[in-house]
Amino acid sequence: MLRILIADDHEIVRKGVRDVIEDHPGWEVCGEAADGQEALTLALREKPDIAVLDVSLPIVNGVALTRRLHKECPSIRILLFTMHDDDETSVAVWPPAREATS
């Protein structure tokens, strides 16, 4: 069973991601969080295989959370996503996220 943590501050987004995961045999949602601190707490407790993280999470953003998870739970694979499609966000996110997983 592939265990997945979802973190997004919009409930409708979490529901959509959860629905996709639950429709896939062998995948399960092991936790949902509305902010980065809650996601970190859940990840440390649940040890998911994958964490699906919004870049713009409140309290601890997705990039900072990626760094923390990489240090504290290096086996967790991270999928960062964002609703922003501008170059500024991509440039801000890519190097720190890549460094966290190198």
- If the chain, 102 residues long, is cut into consecutive pieces of 10 residues, what is the mean pLDDT of each piece? 97 97 97 98 97 95 91 92 59 52 50
**What is the reported pTM?**
0.85
- pLDDT value at position 99? 55
For residues 13 and 53, give the distance between their C-alpha atoms in angstroms, rounded to a whole number.
Answer: 11
- Residue 43 is predicted with a pLDDT of 97
**CATH number of the 2-97 domain:** 3.40.50.2300
| Full DSSP string of 54-85 | ETT-SSS-HHHHHHHHHHH-TT-EEEEE-S--
Give the three-class secondary structure for 58.
Answer: coil
